[in-house]
Amino acid sequence: MNAQPEPVLAVRNLRAYIGTPRGAVRAVDDVSLHVGRAQALGVVGESGSGKSVMARAIMGLLPPRSACSGEVLFKGRDLLTLPRKERQEIWGKQIAMVFQDPGRSLNPVVRIERQLTEGMRKHLGIGKSEAHGRAVDLLREVGVPDPERRLRNYPHELSGGMRQRVMIATALACEPDLLIADEPTTALDVTVQRQILDLLRRVQRDRGMAMMLISHDLAVVAGRTDRVAVMYAGRLAETGTTRAIFAAPRHRYTHALLDATPSLDHQRHAPMRVIPGSLPDPTSPPPGCRFAPRCAHTTDACVDPGPRMTSADGVAAGMDHLIACVNPVAAPAAADGAAPASVGAGASPNTGLAKGGDLVGR
């Protein structure tokens, strides 16, 4: 039997607590996941579920008065134990991040060329002329028209979509092994959103990078990732292949998220499906399953002792699809042992998925 290749990123029992006057916010609480080589992982969940804090913990960019524990293994090295100077050698060169708001991430008083070439000259040791040529090629690769002229612009002279393309080009400049895209389409209109998401998926595949795509929107990860991790209140609820998560969600929270997604077959005047309640207080979360207060299928076992991440279909079926649910949704019956249809194969009555993996009717 061949051994599984070592993942580019392996997060193990990660905890990230942030101090506040009301107490420690348990933003990330015992999360374990991995991203394989040339693989795209989608991390989804409601706003406030801990997705962005997890990304910042991986990068070592947590705010003051925060505490982080566990392991963040990047190509076998634990980033949490490295001195800051060694981490800085990894940032940009081996791990790059695309932030939510390019308008706040780009320096407003520095021209685009300098922001694009600075990292290349530092990490790759190339000269000004070569860095300029690479910058032009990168802007052209990410779809920026007239790249020579755009290099002379300041960020405020570009549209939101163009600024996000510049951010992506900057992240790709040093050929990183892992790209973390944290809500990369925030505040962009839907047409530009799709262009940016398709661009990320294309460059990830073309370059063979590992990518972590973080979003609160299920449509973003539906057709653009290989695996999905669903987070709720700082913990993982379900992980598995994108195909399995969308075709047959097993955790009650994942099922509720998909059920609340608008679709083309939704009756015009019928009320929208919603998940009742709200996220728990992160400074004093409920015992056991944190989704239990909002779940209609809660039992005593959900609270004491509560669920642990286990195989959705039993250990014998493998550990590729994991859930943290005591009373999961029943697995769909497959005719003659056939697997459910893939996400991009056609429309799904539950999720409103159409060809290409996008959610329609939004």
pLDDT > 70? residue 280: yes
CA–CA distance, 140 with 130 (Å, rounded to integer): 16
pLDDT bin (cut points 50, 70, 90) of residue 203 is very high
pLDDT band at 4 (very low <50, low <70, confident <90, very high): low
User: pLDDT digits over 224-240, tens only?
Assistant: 999 999 999 999 999 99
pLDDT of residue 334: 55
Q: Domain-by-domain residue ranges, the chain? A: 107-173, 250-345
What is the pLDDT, as a whole number, of residue 186?
A: 79
**Looking at residue 268, what is its pLDDT?**
76
Q: Write down the mean pLDDT value for the chain.
A: 87
User: Could you tell me which residues come within 8 angstroms of residue 150 by beta carbon, excluding any fewer than 6 positions away?
Assistant: 112, 139, 144, 158, 162, 166
User: Does residue 93 have a pLDDT over 50?
Assistant: yes
| Cα 223 to Cα 241: distance, rounded to the nearest angstrom | 11
Q: Tell me the percentage of the chain whose pLDDT exceeds 90.
A: 70
Q: Between residues 220 and 180, which one has the greater pLDDT?
A: 180
Residue 339: pLDDT over 90: no
Residue 218's pLDDT band (cuts 50, 70, 90): confident
Lowest mean pLDDT among 3-7, 252-256, 293-297, 357-361: 357-361
pLDDT digits (tens, 9 = 90+) for 145-155: 999 999 999 99
Model confidence at 294, in pLDDT bands (50, 70, 90)? very high
pLDDT of 1 above 60: no
**Cβ contacts of 349-352, under 8 Å, gap ≥ 24:** 349/263, 349/265, 350/258, 350/259, 350/263, 351/218, 351/222, 351/246, 351/258, 351/261, 351/263, 352/261, 352/262, 352/263, 352/264, 352/265, 352/266
| Residue 330 pLDDT greater than 60, yes or no | yes
pLDDT classification of 79: cutoffs 50, 70, 90: very high
Average pLDDT over residues 126-131: 95
Question: How many beta carbons lie within 10 A of that of residue 13, not counting itself?
Answer: 11
User: What pLDDT is stored for residue 40 in this prediction?
Assistant: 97
Q: Is the pLDDT of residue 288 over 50?
A: yes
